[in-house]
Amino acid sequence: MSNQPNPGGRPTKAERKEQARQEREAIQRQMASRKRNRTIGLSLVALAAVAVIVTVVVLQPEGADSELPTPDELLARAADASQSAGCTEVQTIGEYAGADAAHIEGDERFPELPALDTYPSTPPTSGPHVGAATLPAGVYDSRPDIGIAIHSLEHGGTVVWYSPDAPQEQIDAITAYYNQDAPVGQDRVIVAPYDYEGPGGQLPDGVQMALVAWHRMQTCATPSLEAAFDFTSQYSAPAFGDREYAGEAPEAGNVM
């Protein structure tokens, strides 16, 4: 077959074949170029995502949980939240007559813990208690020994008591906050259900959260993390951050 140009001006079979080959190669080069561009673009996106993750991890305070509010956020909302939760003002509770700091194992008047309804308030903020140990700070799923908890108040601890029938979502917010690793004063705070036998063993009607320190108490109709932190950050000894200690625990600051 001749490869000479067709005298009539029409491309020969060989010329058409060569033209088709050139067009295929041009298309292949174009597709390869687009593929390279896509690969580069995806790589840049991936690198950008990694950079964002690294930045967040580096800037996040050690032990902090990004889903939890900061102490400053809680304190900024505390006044409004306390009002919405039906919280009282912080009350000063009087002494347990003649035995405000009595130890039941060392005082013959109290061979055992007195009935809870004999204390000046429910829950108690002082009075006869177990003196051999304090209750370690932390979140308790079931009722702790209240006689030991009162001793923790004497040492500058605070307790966030909640009713077992309080809304679980609100309790979860409180327990998650005081369970976190970031320091929020939780080494001086006990969070637990108030659920004991006999008179005085349940929170008063209309109260789902009671915040207590030695001779101090604030009650709320519904649990509020903001109210709880506002209280514990002031009445735990030492107080949290730059706050001033507002309590009067006789052994404030001693190891719990």
- The per-residue pLDDT for range 22-50, each reduced to its tens digit, is 665 665 666 566 656 555 555 544 444 44
Regarding whether 102 and 10 lie in a shared domain, the answer is no
Let me know the angle formed at the C-alpha of 253 by 115 and 212, rounded to the nearest 5 degrees. Answer: 40
Regarding whether 203 and 77 lie in a shared domain, the answer is yes
Q: Determine which of 34-38, 80-84, 235-239 has the lowest per-residue pLDDT on average.
A: 34-38
Q: Where are the alpha helices (DSSP H) in the chain?
A: 13-59, 71-84, 146-154, 168-179, 225-235
Inside any domain, residue 245: no
Last residue of a domain, one of 12, 34, 59: 59
Inside any domain, residue 50: yes
Cα–chain center distance at 6? 87
Regarding whether 122 and 18 lie in a shared domain, the answer is no
Inside any domain, residue 252: no
Q: What is the domain count for the chain?
A: 2
Regarding whether 9 and 129 lie in a shared domain, the answer is no
Inside any domain, residue 219: yes
As a whole number, mean pLDDT of residues 197-202 equals: 96
Q: What mean pLDDT is reported for the chain?
A: 85
pTM: 0.75
Distances (CA, A) of 251 to 16, 28, 29, 153: 102, 83, 82, 9
Inside any domain, residue 109: yes
Regarding whether 86 and 202 lie in a shared domain, the answer is yes
Regarding whether 139 and 223 lie in a shared domain, the answer is yes
More confident residue, 155 or 37: 155
pLDDT band at 238 (very low <50, low <70, confident <90, very high): very high
The boundaries of the domain holding residue 106 are 71-235
Q: Are 65 and 180 in contact (CB under 8 A)?
A: yes
φ and ψ of 211, to 5 deg: -105, 125
Q: Are 125 and 93 in contact (CB under 8 A)?
A: yes
Inside any domain, residue 34: yes
Regarding whether 93 and 22 lie in a shared domain, the answer is no
Regarding whether 198 and 76 lie in a shared domain, the answer is yes
